[in-house]
């Protein structure tokens, strides 16, 4: 069985709610089900979800601290005070800073901005920046997307006579800073109904409190930061992002126009997905490899030529960022291999490297998490100072902010969310830091937490998703966190066609059908699986449904996320030149798709044909054919893990007999995949299922040439030629004659017995074995793939 990479989690039972919504809203059962699974229980809630507008936003004065902040800002404007906007270097921080620039311009304020350099300064407020602000005559500092943890720094600002208004959305620490005003919906005692605002969302609420009706186009900036920071696209965020995307489709901002153009996005059809995967990475690239000020300049410029220049510079930075990420990923994986005792991945992966660009370690952490499904922390070490700065990405089973809090004494600074965080510490603390995090994870996590899970929107059939329904589903956009693109499960589809596509065949295109309904499915980055799939297979598939538009034609298309081949599977790789190298390649390719590690994998070979395997899979269980026991353990892994955990078997050589094959298949009770890698035999070695006439002919030929004893090798060669049987076949037929006392073998000669006893061929064990061996090799060695695989499955099912 080709397992899915993830466990597919069905939505909670809401069938009755979905039926009611379908009737009340006159929508398809699929659209109604999607609404119900997103927590919408009636038509009124559905109307708010689908049609919410800016008038439905909450009163900004419900935010604790707003009552103090607004008069202080108005006072600063009236008195012409110099204001500092202090931001952050990620896309949310860039968006927040840009929004505040528009806000300051609108108010006619005197202002400066300050964004720390990610590599040189790191996250948060810094005293040297406050010193600079004081020297510039600043009297009011407004932070955006930062500040909630800056207890010492704000105390220092107070000592300089600076008032600080903090606007932030990160998790508040136990001790809050003594700021002039703290605005964060997550702070204790804040009655604000919606806690999911991005940093730019909180900044927008500040502008809304001062202006009452901020310019609607500012929601474009809010949309970018909210999507990029992976905030939930529900509640107020959904309203702000929907309105922002609507404005963006005819934007007047030169920077946003240029950014869409360089990202290959059609302005008139921009979506949240375009922002997340096209615009946000380029904005983030500025803060990761250079300084975020260039991204702020892009979003706030009023000059189209400057916007073009800045957008292309960000695009080049993003390409460079991709190369840097890949290099660090390779180094990190080498380090991780050294940490994996007996092939076991640590509960929390902590990896640090000298000179690693701290601007991209979060992306590296995400990539390694995706591969191993473990919480990951990647840190860059400054070789001169020994300071480590890093980013964490976590899985649902571990609140990484809580985990970091459990060992906060080991860090100089940390902050973040349950799923992502940042920290800094000295390299001397790294061993204790890693040990403490793994100890915490061992206490709070269970085995189930390490099984990758993906939420789905239920099981459907292909006829449920015609074009009209796909178009209707767009009502649920914008998609993002907490309102993901619908993922639908289609079971028991038949694979009709498949082919590789794209550069170097990295991608896969399938055509599947259910009854009369057919659909194309595209799997990006899955081209290596083409060799494991064959038309006619039954697949369970999980994907995101969309519309493929080409040359005026529109048809449904599935973006494949995961798939599973049901039932036992035999994969025909017979005749490969380097079977051990092929095993290693296949393990690397299919392990993520079959939930495999080495204890689940067995390779079996014939020790008389090969004394030891030419491979480095010592963690894989290795077995040899054994005439008495069927198979025997060859390496320590086989002795340690045993047979019961084996799910995937690689057959390097053909068994010596059908009974040995049956014993092999019966030994592994949980086997679900068999890979055939054995070499074929030449026609000169082929066995045929023996018949009585064949034996009669051979005996007559033997009688003619062996009136006197004859050398066996000479007899076998002549009999093979005269009977048109292989030399191997004739040799084994001689074994039958000898067992039945038709001949004797004496010192290399064959002697024919003149008057042999009358005995049936079927009474000979050699005759029976020859028949079963010939049948086995006919299917296992010479038959085509369909006949070979179906025969093995029938034997497999017969012994299970």
Whether the upstream peptide bond of residue 478 has omega within 30° of 0, thus cis, is yes
- Measured in whole angstroms, the distance separating CA 506 from the mean position of its chain's CA atoms is 16
Domain match, 200 and 279 both: yes
Domain match, 346 and 418 both: yes
What pLDDT is attached to residue 534? 82
Query: In the chain, pLDDT over 90 holds for what percent of residues?
Result: 66
Is residue 555 over pLDDT 60? yes
Is residue 564 over pLDDT 60? yes
Is 154:161 a contact under the CB 8 Å cutoff? no
Domain housing 354: 340-446
Domain match, 78 and 176 both: yes
Average pLDDT, the chain: 91
| Element (DSSP H or E) covering residue 297 | helix 293-300
What pLDDT is attached to residue 617? 57
Structurally, the chain folds into a number of domains equal to 5
What pLDDT is attached to residue 612? 73
Bridge partner residues of 490 (DSSP): 460, 541
Please state whether beta strands 553-565 and 517-523 pair in parallel, antiparallel, or not at all (unpaired).
parallel
d(CA 135, CA 143) in angstroms, rounded, equals 18
Token pair, residue 714, equals: 């000479």
d(CA 668, CA 587) in angstroms, rounded, equals 18
Q: DSSP letter at 756?
A: P
CATH number, residue 85: 3.90.1640.30
Alpha helices in 706-800 (DSSP H): 712-723, 727-739, 765-777, 785-799
Rounded-to-10 torsion of CA 651, 657, 661, 663: -130
d(CA 740, CA 760) in angstroms, rounded, equals 8
Q: How confident is the model at residue 67 (pLDDT cuts 50, 70, 90)?
A: very high
Burial class (CB in 10 A: 0-12, 13-18, 19+), 16: exposed
d(CA 101, CA 387) in angstroms, rounded, equals 33
Closest C-alpha among 82, 99, 191 to residue 137: 82
Could you say which of 549, 565, 581 is where a domain stops? 565
Q: How confident is the model at residue 614 (pLDDT cuts 50, 70, 90)?
A: low
Is 364:335 a contact under the CB 8 Å cutoff? no
Query: In the chain, pLDDT over 70 holds for what percent of residues?
Result: 98
Bridge partner residues of 541 (DSSP): 490, 563
Q: How confident is the model at residue 615 (pLDDT cuts 50, 70, 90)?
A: low
Bridge partner residues of 521 (DSSP): 510, 558
d(CA 341, CA 601) in angstroms, rounded, equals 18
Dihedral sign of CA atoms 780, 784, 785, 787 in order = negative
Could you say which of 250, 285, 317 is where a domain stops? 317
Task: Encode pLDDT of 11-64 as tens digits.
Answer: 887 899 999 999 999 999 999 999 999 999 999 999 889 988 999 999 999 999
What pLDDT is attached to residue 338? 87
d(CA 452, CA 4) in angstroms, rounded, equals 10
Token pair, residue 622, equals: 């290795």
Could you say which of 538, 565, 592 is where a domain stops? 565
What pLDDT is attached to residue 347? 93
CATH number, residue 346: 3.10.310.30
- Does 778 fall in a domain? no
What pLDDT is attached to residue 169? 95
d(CA 234, CA 481) in angstroms, rounded, equals 8
Neighbouring CB atoms inside 10 A of 257's CB total 18
Backbone angles phi, psi at 389, to 5 degrees: -120, 135
Burial class (CB in 10 A: 0-12, 13-18, 19+), 611: exposed
Task: Encode pLDDT of 361-382 as tens digits.
Answer: 999 999 999 888 999 999 999 9
Domain match, 658 and 740 both: no
**What count of Cα atoms within 13 Å lies in the side-chain half-sphere of residue 536?**
6
What pLDDT is attached to residue 122? 77
What pLDDT is attached to residue 287? 87
Domain match, 510 and 544 both: yes
- Measured in whole angstroms, the distance separating CA 390 from the mean position of its chain's CA atoms is 22
Bridge partner residues of 555 (DSSP): 548
Dihedral sign of CA atoms 304, 310, 316, 321 in order = negative
Q: How confident is the model at residue 305 (pLDDT cuts 50, 70, 90)?
A: very high
What pLDDT is attached to residue 141? 98
Domain match, 119 and 190 both: yes
d(CA 781, CA 661) in angstroms, rounded, equals 13
d(CA 545, CA 551) in angstroms, rounded, equals 20
What pLDDT is attached to residue 179? 97
- Does 24 fall in a domain? no
Q: Which residue has the higher pLDDT, 530 or 738?
A: 738
Q: Which residue has the higher pLDDT, 585 or 760?
A: 760
CATH number, residue 718: 1.10.10
Domain match, 577 and 559 both: no
Task: Encode pLDDT of 200-232 as tens digits.
Answer: 999 999 999 999 999 999 999 999 999 999 899
Is residue 157 over pLDDT 80? yes
| Element (DSSP H or E) covering residue 111 | strand 110-114
Is residue 131 over pLDDT 70? yes
Q: What are the CA-CA distances from residue 59 to residues 37, 100, 175, 185, 321 (Å)?
A: 28, 19, 27, 13, 41
Domain match, 547 and 596 both: no
What pLDDT is attached to residue 447? 85
Stretch among 247-256, 325-334, 661-670 having the lowest mean pLDDT: 661-670
- Does 40 fall in a domain? no
Domain match, 416 and 470 both: no
Domain match, 265 and 141 both: yes
- Does 36 fall in a domain? no
What pLDDT is attached to residue 260? 97
d(CA 38, CA 17) in angstroms, rounded, equals 11
Domain match, 117 and 176 both: yes
Is residue 681 over pLDDT 80? no
What pLDDT is attached to residue 180? 98
What pLDDT is attached to residue 592? 61
| Element (DSSP H or E) covering residue 389 | strand 387-393
Task: Encode pLDDT of 571-613 as tens digits.
Answer: 888 888 888 888 888 877 776 666 667 788 899 999 888 877 7
Is 556:545 a contact under the CB 8 Å cutoff? yes
- Measured in whole angstroms, the distance separating CA 121 from the mean position of its chain's CA atoms is 32
Domain match, 179 and 305 both: yes
What pLDDT is attached to residue 3? 75
Is 266:248 a contact under the CB 8 Å cutoff? no
| Element (DSSP H or E) covering residue 105 | helix 91-107
Task: Encode pLDDT of 461-476 as tens digits.
Answer: 999 999 999 999 999 9
Rounded-to-10 torsion of CA 54, 58, 63, 66: 50
**CB-based contacts of 86, cutoff 8 Å, min separation 6:** 113, 114, 115, 125, 129, 141, 142, 143, 144, 146, 147
| Element (DSSP H or E) covering residue 623 | strand 621-626
Alpha helices in 642-750 (DSSP H): 658-667, 692-705, 712-723, 727-739
- Does 200 fall in a domain? yes
**CB-based contacts of 505, cutoff 8 Å, min separation 6:** 527, 530
């Amino acid at each position: 069985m080709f397992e899915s990479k993830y466990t597919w989690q069905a939505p909670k039972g809401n069938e009755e709610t979905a039926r009611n919504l379908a009737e009340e809203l006159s929508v398809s059962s699929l659209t109604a089900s999607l609404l119900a699974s997103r927590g919408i229980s009636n038509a009124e809630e559905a109307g708010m979800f689908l049609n919410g507008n800016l008038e439905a936003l909450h009163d900004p004065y419900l935010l604790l601290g707003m009552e103090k902040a607004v008069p202080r800002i108005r006072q600063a404007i009236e008195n012409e005070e110099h204001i500092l906007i202090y931001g952050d270097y990620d896309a949310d921080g860039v968006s927040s800073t840009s929004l505040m620039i528009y806000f300051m311009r609108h108010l006619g304020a005197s202002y400066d901005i300050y964004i720390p350099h990610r590599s040189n300064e790191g996250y948060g407020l810094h005293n040297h920046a406050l010193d600079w602000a004081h020297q510039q005559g600043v009297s009011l500092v407004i932070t955006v997307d930062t500040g909630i943890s800056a207890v010492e720094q704000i105390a220092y600002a107070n000592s300089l006579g600076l008032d600080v208004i903090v606007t932030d959305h990160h998790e508040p620490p136990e001790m809050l800073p003594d700021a002039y005003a703290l605005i964060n919906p997550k702070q204790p005692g804040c009655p604000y109904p919606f806690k999911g605002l991005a940093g730019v969302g909180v900044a927008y609420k500040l502008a809304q409190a001062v202006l009452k009706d901020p310019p609607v186009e500012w929601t474009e900036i809010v949309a970018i930061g909210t999507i990029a920071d992976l905030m939930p696209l529900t509640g107020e965020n959904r309203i702000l992002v929907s309105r922002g995307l609507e404005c963006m489709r005819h934007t007047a901002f030169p920077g946003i126009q240029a950014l869409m153009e360089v990202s290959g996005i059609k302005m008139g059809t921009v979506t949240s997905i375009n922002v997340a995967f096209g615009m946000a990475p380029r904005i983030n690239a500025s803060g990761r490899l250079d300084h975020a000020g260039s991204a702020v300049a892009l979003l706030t410029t009023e000059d189209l030529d400057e916007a073009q220049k800045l957008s292309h510079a960000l695009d080049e930075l993003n390409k460079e960022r991709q190369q840097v990420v890949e290099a660090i990923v390779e180094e990190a994986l080498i380090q991780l291999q050294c940490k994996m005792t007996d092939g076991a991945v640590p509960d929390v992966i902590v990896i640090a490297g000298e000179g690693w660009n701290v601007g991209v370690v979060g992306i590296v952490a995400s990539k390694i998490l995706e591969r191993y499904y473990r919480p990951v922390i990647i840190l860059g070490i400054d070789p001169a100072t020994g300071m480590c700065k890093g980013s964490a990405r976590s899985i649902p089973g571990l609140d990484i902010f809580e985990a970091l809090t459990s060992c906060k004494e080991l860090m100089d600074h940390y902050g973040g969310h349950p799923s992502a965080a940042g920290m800094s510490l000295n390299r001397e603390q790294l061993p204790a830091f890693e040990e403490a995090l793994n100890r915490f994870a061992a206490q709070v996590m269970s085995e189930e937490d390490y099984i990758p899970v993906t939420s789905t929107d239920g099981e459907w059939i292909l006829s449920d998703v015609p074009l009209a329904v796909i178009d209707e589903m767009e009502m649920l956009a914008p998609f993002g966190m907490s309102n993901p693109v619908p993922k639908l499960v289609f079971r028991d589809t038949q694979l009709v066609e498949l082919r590789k596509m794209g550069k170097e065949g990295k991608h896969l295109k399938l055509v599947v059908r259910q009854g009369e309904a057919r659909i194309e499915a595209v799997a990006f980055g899955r081209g290596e699986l083409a060799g494991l799939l064959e038309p006619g297979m039954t697949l369970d598939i999980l994907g995101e449904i969309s519309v493929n538009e080409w040359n005026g034609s529109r048809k449904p298309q599935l973006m494949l996320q995961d798939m599973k081949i049901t039932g036992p599977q035999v994969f025909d790789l017979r005749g490969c030149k380097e079977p051990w190298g092929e095993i290693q390649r296949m393990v690397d390719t299919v392990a993520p798709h079959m939930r495999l590690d080495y204890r689940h994998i067995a390779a079996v070979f014939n020790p008389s044909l090969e004394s030891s395997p030419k491979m480095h899979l010592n963690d894989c269980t290795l077995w040899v054919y054994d005439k008495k026991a069927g198979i025997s353990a060859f390496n320590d892994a086989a002795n340690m893990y045993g047979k019961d955990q084996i799910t995937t078997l690689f057959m390097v050589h053909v068994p010596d007999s059908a009974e040995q094959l049956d014993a092999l298949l019966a030994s592994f009770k949980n086997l679900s995949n068999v890979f055939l890698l054995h070499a074929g035999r030449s026609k000169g070695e082929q066995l045929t299922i023996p018949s009585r006439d064949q034996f009669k002919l051979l005996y007559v030929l033997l009688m003619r040439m062996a009136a006197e004893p004859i050398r066996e090798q000479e007899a076998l060669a002549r009999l093979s030629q005269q009977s048109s049987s292989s030399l191997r076949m004739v040799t084994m037929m001689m074994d039958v004659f000898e067992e039945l006392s038709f001949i004797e073998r004496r010192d290399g000669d064959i002697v024919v017995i003149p008057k042999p006893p009358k005995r049936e061929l079927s009474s000979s064990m050699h005759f029976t074995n020859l028949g079963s061996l010939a049948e086995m090799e006919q299917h296992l060695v010479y038959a085509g793939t369909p006949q070979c695989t179906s025969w093995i499955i029938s034997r497999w099912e017969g012994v299970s």
